[in-house]
Structure 1
């Protein structure tokens, strides 16, 4: 009798353990899957500003941009038509960059920013918008860039004095399959103030950008940034009063062919570098100082 009871208890224990294990496996299987927001934006840059996107691990992104002359210069008269609204003026500011991703959460890159300017940068993914196992409502990234102007300047003797730095916190949300929005608080530091000793080394800016997916291959993009300080009544090195324009506005379209992303846009800047666009903008929106630009973006997988 005792042997039978022992066998029954043992069988019950094994059965209970099996049921418990099945319950655990079932709970695991029923746990909500993690779903990431993908393609919040279609490039590492929206138009002129950085996006929360980074290049996938082991991939290299090549990006080349051209910012042309103003579509209409109020003092140019008929030359605006002769130059085909800035497209045939013979003037273009070129920006060319290479982004590589050694890790799935980080990009490193270098850029030729035009007019003897060079840049090196890092971008880190901090949070990624997701639902399911975790609910994170936004994607967050951090962008840091070092900028150097190598043009000869008799008033700037030391290389360190030619450096400037930019840091951006990028906060984005993909609200639906069609609409994404991003905020971009920005801090720019100049080692030497380019406008005179009476002005600050620090420039602060706040930007907002959006993307609307019109079709599977066509997106509409928009950017606006406002410089918060250091743009009025500045003192130049010659003692003259300098005024910059604090508003940067751009609108464009994106065409995705699968292998390339083509971006065409009109914006209130002719500069290629974000340092110049956000801290030294000479284009006045009220005067219609808008210029055409385009960017070609190609990403290649170079390491599996």
Structure 2
């Protein structure tokens, strides 16, 4: 009798252990997807890649002149660069705040990134982030008949990156964006002095081509009906 009872107890224990193991496996398989992109920005566009709590990200970006300027200007390099530096700090796994400065028009900006959705291996197919920002132009416009007031110098923008990591090799992202300038004019470095609000939809991607190298791509077609708007295309290597 005792051996029979011991056998029953052993089988119950084994079944419980198996069920617990299955439960653990179910939990493990629906983890957050990491490293959709390698940084908070992919070329110029915000990405869905979040910062950990206490993590600080620092970046310097250069935008040179037009490639069409030819060999005399080394295809835009001699025309000077718009240099932007920025800091971004993670306050949690879902929210971070940043500060930056761009040399053109001496624009200072603050931005936030909030992870609305984070892709999981099973239950959530995409990651979505809301990224609002506010900028202030600090350039001198004293030569104008009517100088810029503080409120004239403010601009607002928002982006909504939506991305999916399809595999360890391929990530794709769609980024709807809107930017509004409180005041515009020919003195500013914007496409159309008569347009104060710009809509756009950016596309970006990352393709791993080597174990430690990936090809990145950015494309922003002109959407707003404004003068002097062209495609914005960039290619990079991580």
- Pairing 1:172–2:166 present: no
Deviation at 1:55, TM superposition (A): 2.1
2:89 is matched with which residue? Answer: 100
Match of 1:228 among 223, 230, 233: 223
- Distance in structure 1 (CA, Å) of the matches to 2:114 and 2:49: 9
Q: Quick check: which has more Rg, 1 or 2?
A: 1
- Distance in structure 2 (CA, Å) of the matches to 1:43 and 1:210: 13
Return the structure number with greater relative CO, CA threshold 8 A, min gap 6.
1
- Pairing 1:123–2:113 present: yes
Unaligned runs of 5+ in 2: 187-192
The Cα offsets for residues 199-253 of structure 1, whole Å up to 9 and x where unpaired, read as: 554221111111101112211111111232241xxxxxxxxxxx22242111122
Match of 2:31 among 28, 35, 39: 35
- Pairing 1:149–2:143 present: no
Unaligned runs of 5+ in 1: 1-10, 75-79, 232-242, 255-304
What secondary structure, in the 3-state scheme, does the structure 2 residue paired with 1:29 have? helix
2:16 is matched with which residue? Answer: 22
Deviation at 1:72, TM superposition (A): 4.1
1:163 is matched with which residue? Answer: 154
1:1-304 matched pairs, under 5 angstroms: 22=16, 25=20, 28-33=23-28, 34-73=30-69, 80-81=71-72, 83-87=73-77, 89=78, 91-115=80-104, 116-132=106-122, 135-153=123-141, 154=144, 155-194=146-185, 199=194, 201-231=196-226, 243-254=227-238
Alignment CA distance shift 1:100-1:110 (3 Å): same
Alignment CA distance shift 1:246-1:91 (3 Å): closer
- Distance in structure 1 (CA, Å) of the matches to 2:46 and 2:62: 16
Contact 1:199 1:230 (8 Å CA) reproduced: no
The Cα offsets for residues 49-89 of structure 1, whole Å up to 9 and x where unpaired, read as: 11111222101111011222334415xxxxx25x44444x2
Contact 2:65 2:80 (8 Å CA) reproduced: yes
How many aligned positions are there?
220
